[in-house]
């Protein structure tokens, strides 16, 4: 029996060291050398201190800021340790009720805005942590932000246009606006 256990244990130990220590060390080292900013969380620094990560959505509730997509993480919104969707289907009444409440909240925050509410302002992304909104969702919020900051809508539209990112490699995904970067640009101007 010992002649069977010894090679099995040796193989287990060797594979544990290779896949649990050596491989992660190589991948971490390569990431630090090739992509140090991404490997360290893509932290956005403003005025010498960390403002957040450009890869993880953050809550903004003040009317003078652009608001992110709703978050479906638990036990609280934008919990980066608990990424995940709500798993509510389109016919689920809980989702329908949540969307109606979010639309009502957006209408209450900007009563004069009669345009259609973009879907990404009332539905969470699959991760629940999406840091981006669509250009339409940003445009929907321009009047409220301009009023709250006592600035012209033209100035705010210009900042939105500057913050709009195109498709990756020109063909992948859709144009998007990073909410954290846009809000930092608002504060800087």
Q: pLDDT (tens digit, 9 = 90+) per residue, 1-52?
A: 778 889 999 999 999 999 999 999 999 999 999 999 888 888 888 888 888 8
d(CA 100, CA 103): 5
Residues 11 and 88 in one domain: no
- Shortest CA distance to 83 belongs to which of 69, 71, 70? 71
| Contact by Cβ (8 Å): 162, 122 | no
d(CA 46, CA 107): 31
How many domains in the chain?
Answer: 2
H or E stretch at 150:
none
Residues 86 and 50 in one domain: yes
Residues 57 and 127 in one domain: yes
Residues 35 and 49 in one domain: no
Q: Please give the residue range of the domain that contains residue 13.
A: 1-40
Question: From residue 163, how far is each of 5, 62, 121, 182 by CA, in Å?
Answer: 61, 19, 17, 6
Q: Residue 87 has what pLDDT? A: 73
d(CA 56, CA 88): 22
Residues 53 and 36 in one domain: no
Residues 6 and 61 in one domain: no
**pLDDT tens-digit map of 68-127:** 988 877 777 766 777 766 677 788 888 889 889 999 999 999 998 989 999 999 888 777
């Amino acid at each position: 029996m010992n002649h069977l256990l010894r090679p099995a244990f040796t193989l287990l130990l060797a594979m544990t060291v290779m896949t649990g220590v050596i491989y992660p060390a190589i991948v971490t080292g390569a990431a630090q050398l090739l992509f140090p900013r991404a490997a360290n969380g893509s932290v956005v620094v403003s005025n010498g201190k960390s403002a957040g990560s450009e890869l993880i959505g953050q809550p903004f509730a003040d009317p003078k800021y652009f608001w992110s997509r709703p978050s479906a993480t638990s036990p609280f919104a934008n919990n980066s340790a608990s990424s995940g969707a709500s798993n509510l289907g389109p016919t689920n009444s809980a989702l329908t009720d949540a969307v109606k409440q979010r639309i009502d909240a957006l209408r209450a925050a900007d009563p004069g805005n009669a345009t259609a509410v973009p879907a990404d302002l009332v539905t969470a992304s699959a991760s629940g942590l999406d840091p981006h909104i669509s250009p339409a969702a940003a445009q929907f919020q321009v009047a409220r932000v301009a009023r709250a900051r006592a600035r012209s809508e033209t100035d705010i539209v210009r900042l939105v246009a500057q913050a709009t990112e195109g498709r990756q490699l020109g063909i992948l995904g859709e144009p998007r606006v990073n909410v954290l970067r846009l809000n930092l640009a608002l504060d800087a101007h």
